[in-house]
Amino acid sequence: MSDSATTTNTDETYEEFLQRVERRHNVGAAAGVLRWDQEVMMPEGGTTARSGQLSALSAIGHELLTDEEMAEWIETLRDADLDDERTAVLREVGREYDRATSVPTDLVEEMSAATSEAHPQWTEAKEESEFETFALALERLVELNREYAEHIDPNRPAYEVLFEEYEPYLGLETADRVLTELREGLVPLIEDVRESDVELASPFDGEYPANDQEELARTVLDELDYDWEHGRLDTAPHPFSTGTQFDARVTTRFDESEPIGALSSTVHEFGHARYTQGLPKEQYGTPLGQSRDLTVHESQSRFWENHVGRSRNFCERLVPLIQDHLPGTEDLSTEALYEAANEVYEDNLIRVEADELTYHLHIVARYEIEREMIGGDLDVQEVPAAWNDTYEEYLGIRPENDAEGCLQDIHWSHGSFGYFPTYSLGSVLAAQIDAAMRDDLDVDGLVADGEFGPIREWLREEIHQHGARYTTGELIERATGEPLTAEYFLDYVESKYSDLYDL
Amino acid sequence: MSDSATTTNTDETYEEFLQRVERRHNVGAAAGVLRWDQEVMMPEGGTTARSGQLSALSAIGHELLTDEEMAEWIETLRDADLDDERTAVLREVGREYDRATSVPTDLVEEMSAATSEAHPQWTEAKEESEFETFALALERLVELNREYAEHIDPNRPAYEVLFEEYEPYLGLETADRVLTELREGLVPLIEDVRESDVELASPFDGEYPANDQEELARTVLDELDYDWEHGRLDTAPHPFSTGTQFDARVTTRFDESEPIGALSSTVHEFGHARYTQGLPKEQYGTPLGQSRDLTVHESQSRFWENHVGRSRNFCERLVPLIQDHLPGTEDLSTEALYEAANEVYEDNLIRVEADELTYHLHIVARYEIEREMIGGDLDVQEVPAAWNDTYEEYLGIRPENDAEGCLQDIHWSHGSFGYFPTYSLGSVLAAQIDAAMRDDLDVDGLVADGEFGPIREWLREEIHQHGARYTTGELIERATGEPLTAEYFLDYVESKYSDLYDL
């Protein structure tokens, strides 16, 4: 066979393969719309039908990834000489293919059934604050996940393999290093904050109607130049962002006694949506038009939430917007808003309500516990005690019950183990990106002037436009010039909190 | 092989077949959610991705219906001895299978491409009121639809075959008979109305904010006991209803100078949604849990819109609700509302704005024109003139341009020929159902008392609970005791309009 015939065959195979990849992506994106609808729009009684629809799409997506045609295309293409772009697409799809085909269908179904059973048990356990109610289901999920990981790679610790579901390329070693740096840096810093005489307090003590807060959230999104032609804002019980580069939606929620939560969650979700909207449109349907997993996604939300949103200059821009929308805020000052947005909550036990500083000890605690639990070094029955001890050690506070302790988060009930670290990795990366951006841009000056265009453009250029073309590590090094490190994050919080708390 | 072994095999085959049918239904229902979202929620820029998602689901649905496994199951089951329920499921799925497999994939793709091209041309033609801009695309769609019909049944006229896409069982002969009865009955009645000295006028001459109208629409849906746990109300440019028995949603739109339009469209869509909500939940995913096509669906919407909604007693219930919600309606009387809701618009050229009486001549006109066009007796180029002549003959009015003439409706640009008759068949069936219901219930008294429960229950019992178990004709005969006839509709309008217009 001549060289050109081989090329033609490869081209044809790649074309067929790519069409399949695109179809599968479309099925996944359709499921994304259905899940958005379920959280935001669906009437309560719609659950039965919606579950059926989502199961069907999930099964179809699995078949589109794992059937014989796909196996042949991937085998052929792995032997072919592909350009960089095709190599990247094949790497991403091939990775998913390998994982999906190494796990027996029976196990996948068993896991899906166990998760469906576990979720209501967790809900009940949390309501009753009774870990026992969830313990058996959790044990079962732990066992099944160990088995799952063993099918994928019997030669590595199960937790390492599970972590790669959420962050495929950085490696657990990197996560462990970063989380250790965070723990070592943050535990003493938080102690110093505790011992400081400074007490920051919220200036918000009134009632702030949800409607007013929603108008404010829209104005803030306008200020950041959120692309409304490719997105929308709604309310949801747990804020999230979802969609594609053509339609990246955000949600938030409103606490009528406290407006900062909705503001920061809106800016956080904006960061996620901005990433999604910045993915190349012409690559829709392929990995080159998809985001680079959870670490990078979280870096985008945290960059906007913390490095822009919690800055003094952004607070200065926010004050008149808040005054325009929320009653009784005529006397709000920039400094008061800045302090409230950065207050360290000394006795908060709940991760999703944590401040920027203590947040990571919530993550470290979960990481250590779930790693031991999956590794078999911690019995499921011992989780509540281990949880409470860890909180006491790292944060100096002890949960009084399981609802505010080890039952607070939904992730385990979904059978997700290894997800939590990506939250901290994302924050750490956000600080590293912020530092790299400051080599090119006067970020403070731009935020002060409300000129977010160059910031968005920097992120698009360095991160968004690449989709999943590069592995996480490659993308980080290209954008920031060095591998992931907690150094920038620790510098950033030490400087900010020393100033705020007179340390 | 023993009898019991055969039975077991049949059971297994049926089970596999049914799982496939359910999966395909779920894919279709997912597409329904995506289309709802597209009309109601999606940001403008989402179109490209949404088209990709809908195409993928449509192709997958087609494959799930037509692949080799399905072919074998259907063949096996057609030879087996099935109970009534299974026979009905097989009849419905088999009918779709036969149609889908008789048309070559190339032609389906060609039709899909031609429709995608035709739609913007129709939009442009309508905007410019220039039929020429759409003529070529329409000719192409007509040709492709003829070809399509010939693949399905080369021995019958194409229009007859196309009509069965929308109403599979009644037969074009029945439609033709009913439409002829309507034309013969309505043309003289409308002439009498025209000659009457009575002039009905709307009491609404103010501004009625959309928000107030929306609250009113919600109150009216409450009054009818719309099941909000399994549905929701939104606004859309063209009102529609969609969903499943678990989640049947309605939409409406608001004209701030005229509140009756939104009220009647809300009650109309309520009728559709009520049918969907009344389908048996335990049969979700099978034809026994799906509605009986367009004639019966339209009968449900028209029953509520016209026989309940436009009745004097319902108007009496509406008056205080309107007064509660709309400014400047303190002096509104039942009689004024009743007259406004039933006014015959003498010079209206637009189908979707037509009154209950002239509406059917709009349908008869389209039916005659598209039947001749598909049959080759009317050249596409001659459509505008034929349209205008027909309107002049039947309605005594002549469109001044194509935008208010033959370009007004979207259906042809979607490649839908044969859809229109079902609108009139549905109205006629609504009157027949109304008459049958009156044998069992004091409908007027119940409406006067706001007791809609027995009416809803009658419809559920006689129509909704059966899904697509019976053919259209069987269902009509079971519910009303006789085949479809225009007699009841003509009696109803003659009596109502004689009274209103002193004929």
**ipTM of the shown complex:** 0.95
Which residue from B22, B46, B281 is facing A230, i.e. has the nearest CB?
Answer: B46
A265 Cβ neighbours under 8 A, 6+ residues apart = A239, A252, A253
Return the C-alpha torsion angle B485, B491, B493, B495, nearest 10: -170
- Model confidence band, residue B125 (pLDDT cutoffs 50, 70, 90): very high
Interface contact B43-A232, CB threshold 8 A: yes
B281 contacts in A (CB within 8 Å)?
48
The rounded mean pLDDT for chain A is 96
Q: Given CB atoms, is B241 within the 8 Å cutoff of chain A?
A: no
B231 contacts in A (CB within 8 Å)?
43
Q: Given CB atoms, is B26 within the 8 Å cutoff of chain A?
A: yes
- Are the CB atoms for A54 and B259 separated by under 8 Å? no
Interface contact B27-A247, CB threshold 8 A: no
Q: What is the arithmetic mean of pLDDT over B118-139? A: 95
Interface contact B23-A228, CB threshold 8 A: no
Interface contact B227-A45, CB threshold 8 A: yes
Residue B3 above 60 pLDDT? no
Question: For residue B230, what is the nearest residue in chain A, using CA coordinates?
Answer: A45
Q: Given CB atoms, is B44 within the 8 Å cutoff of chain A?
A: yes
Strands B247-252 and B233-235: parallel
User: Positive or negative, the Cα torsion across A105, A109, A115, A118?
Assistant: negative
- pLDDT in the model for residue A3: 55
Residue type, B73: W
Which residue from A22, A49, A246 is facing B45, i.e. has the nearest CB?
Answer: A246
Which residue from A27, A43, A49 is facing B29, i.e. has the nearest CB?
Answer: A49
- pLDDT in the model for residue A1: 47
- φ/ψ of residue B248, rounded to 5: -110, 105
pLDDT, tens digit, for every residue of B389-443?
999 999 999 999 999 999 999 999 999 999 999 999 999 999 999 999 999 999 9
Question: For residue B41, what is the nearest residue in chain A, using CA coordinates?
Answer: A232
pLDDT, tens digit, for every residue of A73-103?
999 999 999 999 999 999 999 999 999 999 9
Residue B2 above 90 pLDDT? no
CA distance B111 to B166: 17
Assigned token pair, A376: 């078999």
Q: What is the arithmetic mean of pLDDT over B52-74? A: 96
Give the distance from residue A123's alpha carbon to the nearest chain B alpha carbon, in angstroms.
21
Residue type, A315: C
- Model confidence band, residue B346 (pLDDT cutoffs 50, 70, 90): confident
- Model confidence band, residue B4 (pLDDT cutoffs 50, 70, 90): low
Residue type, B343: E
Q: Given CB atoms, is A29 within the 8 Å cutoff of chain B?
A: yes
A251 contacts in B (CB within 8 Å)?
none
- pLDDT in the model for residue A467: 98
Chain B, window 270-329: residues with a beta carbon less than 8 angstroms from a chain A beta carbon: 281, 284-285
Residue A106 above 80 pLDDT? yes
CA distance A464 to A474: 14
Residue B362 above 50 pLDDT? yes
- pLDDT in the model for residue B322: 98
A59 contacts in B (CB within 8 Å)?
23
Q: Given CB atoms, is B56 within the 8 Å cutoff of chain A?
A: yes
Interface contact B52-A230, CB threshold 8 A: no
Interface contact A34-B33, CB threshold 8 A: yes
Give the distance from residue A24's alpha carbon to the nearest chain B alpha carbon, in angstroms.
8
Q: Given CB atoms, is A109 within the 8 Å cutoff of chain B?
A: no
Assigned token pair, B356: 């209950």
A48 contacts in B (CB within 8 Å)?
246, 281, 284
pLDDT, tens digit, for every residue of B227-254?
999 999 999 989 999 999 999 999 999 9
Q: Given CB atoms, is B31 within the 8 Å cutoff of chain A?
A: yes
- Are the CB atoms for B350 and B486 separated by under 8 Å? no
A229 contacts in B (CB within 8 Å)?
43-45
Interface contact B37-A42, CB threshold 8 A: no
Q: Find how far residue B479's CA is from the centre of its chain.
A: 19
Q: Given CB atoms, is A41 within the 8 Å cutoff of chain B?
A: yes
Which residue from A57, A60, A246 is facing B49, i.e. has the nearest CB?
Answer: A246
- Model confidence band, residue B5 (pLDDT cutoffs 50, 70, 90): low
Q: Given CB atoms, is B447 within the 8 Å cutoff of chain A?
A: no
Query: How does DSSP assign A4-73, residue by residue?
Result: HHHHHHHHHHHHHHHHHHHHHHHHHHHHHHHHHHHHHT--GGGHHHHHHHHHHHHHHHHHHHHSHHHHHH
Task: Measure CA of the first residue to CA of the last residue in chain A; give whole Å.
Answer: 74
- pLDDT in the model for residue B271: 98
B30 contacts in A (CB within 8 Å)?
30-31, 34, 53, 56-57
- pLDDT in the model for residue B88: 98
pTM: 0.95
Interface contact A37-B37, CB threshold 8 A: yes
Give the distance from residue A378's alpha carbon to the nearest chain B alpha carbon, in angstroms.
41
Task: Measure CA of the first residue to CA of the last residue in chain B; give whole Å.
Answer: 74
Query: How does DSSP assign B226-257, residue by residue?
Result: --GGG--EEE-SS--EEEETTEEEEEE--BTT
- pLDDT in the model for residue A4: 61
Interface contact A26-B52, CB threshold 8 A: yes
Question: For residue A49, what is the nearest residue in chain B, using CA coordinates?
Answer: B246
Which residue from B50, B59, B229 is facing A45, i.e. has the nearest CB?
Answer: B229
Which residue from A34, A42, A46 is facing B30, i.e. has the nearest CB?
Answer: A34
Query: How does DSSP assign A254-303, residue by residue?
Result: -BTTBSHHHHHHHHHHHHHHHHHHTS-GGGTTSGGGS--HHHHHHHHHHI
Give the distance from residue B249's alpha carbon to the nearest chain A alpha carbon, in angstroms.
9
Interface test with B, best of A26, A65, A276, A279 (most B CBs within 10 A): A26
Strand order in the sheet with B233-235: B233-235, B247-252, B241-244
- Among this protein's residues, is A269 annotated catalytic? yes
DSSP state of B501: T
pLDDT, tens digit, for every residue of A380-427?
999 999 999 999 999 999 999 999 999 999 999 999 999 999 999 999
The active-site residue out of A164, A269, A305, A356 is A269
- Model confidence band, residue B1 (pLDDT cutoffs 50, 70, 90): very low
Give the distance from residue B132's alpha carbon to the nearest chain A alpha carbon, in angstroms.
33
B31 contacts in A (CB within 8 Å)?
30
Residue A8 above 50 pLDDT? yes
A246 contacts in B (CB within 8 Å)?
45-50
CA distance A143 to A140: 5
Query: Cα–Cα distances in Å, from A332 out to A203, A217, A324, B439, B440?
Result: 7, 17, 11, 71, 69
Chain B, window 323-362: residues with a beta carbon less than 8 angstroms from a chain A beta carbon: none
Cβ-Cβ contacts under 8 Å between A and B: the total is 118
Q: Given CB atoms, is A48 within the 8 Å cutoff of chain B?
A: yes
- pLDDT in the model for residue A201: 86
